[in-house]
Copies of this chain bind each other. A is one copy, B any other.
């Protein structure tokens, strides 16, 4: 398929946005700022999109992420699992002139449901761009960590863990938060937390941080890393079978923590460049749209 004509690709999230000018299937210019959807008034998205065009050119614009949520520009809805890039391209939601938003993906099994918005472009883009095989388990750590299964190049199911959000809640509002002022890094305290998570009593393990602080069994400087190990360890144990390979789309800091935890539960990781995966996905969607 011939490369599509120039356009702007936007990954527009809750707190940040990143946009690229794409020419001949490659990013030739990029901008990033903190104008996530929460920084845009509900009637301000056309203006906010015009800012992007002012910097990257007056071109068609294809967006993904929370900009397509009910708090964003328009609600772009969800396509069901199993989902492909073709499914996403067939359901683009028009938002302003020469601008479209990629829908999210929903997964429903019985009474259980899950949703994603933005991650689907990375996940399916990783496969389309040759960054991951067509059969893979992928993980996107963060505030809401996504665990996805790709089979035959199709997103078949996924689960979201509120790992990062729970860490922030505990640090900022819990009794144990008073001790969680140290840095989080891979090290003995993080690995002790990962090991402790194997006992399956997360709520008791978390209170243990308070008791260990009171009894001076652990330096408070290590508490945050230990709690991170408990939460990420519990997350990985629930999702990773021994022997499994996980394709990890993460920034370096979280990538290191998840690699340590996944290896501790008997898995292995392959790093995937999440921006490259996003670009491969959104360019393919634009090709399918044209």
Chain A interface residues toward B at CB < 8 A: 78, 106, 108, 111-115, 144-145, 147, 159-163, 165-166, 169-170, 172-176, 192, 196, 199-204, 206-208, 210-212, 214-215, 217-218, 231, 234-235, 237-239
Residue of B with least CB distance to A206: B162
B234 x A203 contact (CB < 8 A) = yes
Q: Which residues of B contact A238 (CB under 8 A)?
A: 199-204
In the complex, what residues of B have CB within 8 A of residue A174's CB?
Answer: 162, 165-166, 169
Residues of B near A214 (CB, < 8 A) are 113, 115
Cβ-defined contact, A161 with B203, below 8 A: yes
| Contact in complex: A166, B111 (CB < 8 Å) | no
Contact (A114, B203) CB under 8 Å given A162-B175, A169-B169, A172-B173: no
User: Contact at A211–B161, with CB atoms within 8 Å?
Assistant: no
Known: A163-B203, A201-B239, A203-B235. A208 touches B112 (CB 8 A): yes
Stoichiometry (number of copies): 2
Contact flag A161-B115 (CB < 8 Å), given A169-B174, A215-B108: no
Evaluate contact between B170 and A215: CB separation under 8 angstroms.
Answer: no
18 residue pairs from A and B, CB less than 8 Å apart: A111-B192, A111-B218, A112-B212, A113-B214, A114-B207, A160-B207, A162-B176, A162-B206, A165-B175, A169-B173, A169-B174, A173-B173, A199-B238, A201-B235, A202-B234, A203-B235, A203-B238, A204-B235
Bound-state Cα–Cα, A212 to B97, Å:
33
The answer for the CA separation of A163 and B201 in the assembled complex, in Å, is 11
Within the complex, the shortest CB–CB distance from A76 to chain B, in Å, comes to 13
In the bound assembly, the distance between CA atoms of A93 and B203 in angstroms comes to 32
Q: Specify the chain B residue showing the minimal Cβ separation from A202.
A: B202
Known: A160-B204, A203-B162. A115 touches B215 (CB 8 A): yes
Closest Cβ–Cβ distance, residue A159 to chain B (whole Å): 5
A145→B172 CA distance, assembly (Å): 21
A208 to B147, CA, bound (A): 13
Nearest opposing residue in chain B for A162, CB measure: B207
Cα-based distance from A167 to B239 in the complex (angstroms): 23
**Residues of chain B contacted by A217 (CB below 8 angstroms):** 108, 111-113
